[in-house]
Every structure is written in C-alpha cells, then in structure tokens.
Amino acid sequence: MDGPSGSGKSSASRGVARALGLRYLDTGAMYRAITWWMLQRGVDLSDQAAIASRAGEPALDSGTDPDAPTIHVDGVDAAGPIRSQEVTAAVSLVAAVPEVRARLVALQREIIGSGDIVVEGRDIGTVVAPGATLKVYLTASAEARATRRTAELNGTTVEAQQAAMARRDTLDSTRKTDPLSMADGAVELDTTALNLEEVIAEVLRLIKERA
C-alpha cells in the first residue's frame, strides 16, 4: 500500500493486516529510524556522501505485529523519537540517498519474503514488491491529509502541516532514486471522503477479488 503522508495508509494497512491475521510492515518507520540515528550522531544531512558513508552502521529491527508495531535502532526503542518534528522535517533528505534506499529495500524484502504481510510505504508497488498480489495507491485531498496529520500531532496547525506536506511531496516525487509514484497495475483509492473503516472494507474487498 503506497501513498503520500496523510493519505491514511498506516492506519488502513494495520487494520487490513489485523482483519486478515497477517503481519504488518511500516517501511516509513525504517527511514525515520535511520534519520533519527543520523541526527543523534550529528551527521550533516545536507551532505549525501556523509549520509551514504554511514548508512550501513545502525542495526534496525522492525516488529511486524499490527497491534503493536515496533522499531529498534541499535537495541534502542525508537518508536517515539522517530515521530518528532525534527525527524519529519529531515527524513526526505535521508530517504533520497541511494545507499540508504538500497540497504532498506534489501531489509524490507527479507521481511516480506518470510510470509504473507501487508506493507506500506512510498515505493512498495514500484520497487520493493512489484509482484505483490494487490497493490493499492491511497490518495486524499491536501486539506484532508493535513487535517489528519494535525490531529495526530501536538503544537501544529492544518496550514503548517499542509505546507510541510507539499514540501515533502515534492521531495519524494522528484528524487532520482525510487520516487513516489503509482505502480503499474495498482488500484488508486481516494480516501478524502472515507472514514478508516470504509477504507479498510474497500481494501478487503479488493483482496477478496484477487484471491
């Protein structure tokens, strides 16, 4: 399940995985985890070579329980820190580095290869798992996405989130390596007017169609 931030893919992916008794992987958390690790060590995130030279250092462990997904970096629980505004503002810079993407895509494919799973991110259908049984691309209006993200965070506004998302959308869709785009054969699902239960129900219907 791919799509931009605020499109509802995290909640929907977890809900679908829970309904089907499957594992769940949040690939975005992996990029956030490496970004947090880089920030903690003072790596210059404007220097792609500096990021690339250290991309292989942190040990990442991604839990796949949809009811309690976890992410550890070098044995440290990073689930909270990776959601900070600092990480959110910097993650696209780190995610654009080819060495980072190559390492994480390999880790993601390793996790996917061990059994049925619901995976969410920005390049799952195009790069990580182009042969997936079902590929869904979630979208929503800019206002709806910003409103959802504002509800999840403290100390921000819809306007600020809309501006931040526009910036990240540009970075994610124009990066040279694995840009955000809808995969061939993917089903586009506009979630603007749908609540979470409706999105989950529609994805479950699509899965049943493909079964």
**Axis-axis angle for helices 85-95, 158-174 (nearest 10):** 10
Site of tokens 């404007």: 46
Beta strands (DSSP E) in the chain are: 23-26, 60-62, 71-73, 76-77, 117-120, 136-139, 187-190
Is 135 one of the annotated binding-site residues? no
User: By three-state DSSP, how is residue 115 classified?
Assistant: coil
Is 121 one of the annotated binding-site residues? no
C-alpha gyration radius of the chain: 16
Q: CB–CB of 132/125 below 8 Å? A: yes
Is 4 one of the annotated binding-site residues? yes
Is 5 one of the annotated binding-site residues? yes
Is 130 one of the annotated binding-site residues? no
Is 3 one of the annotated binding-site residues? yes
Is 8 one of the annotated binding-site residues? yes
Q: CB–CB of 158/151 below 8 Å? A: no
Known binding-site residues for ATP equal 3-11
Known binding-site residues equal 3-11
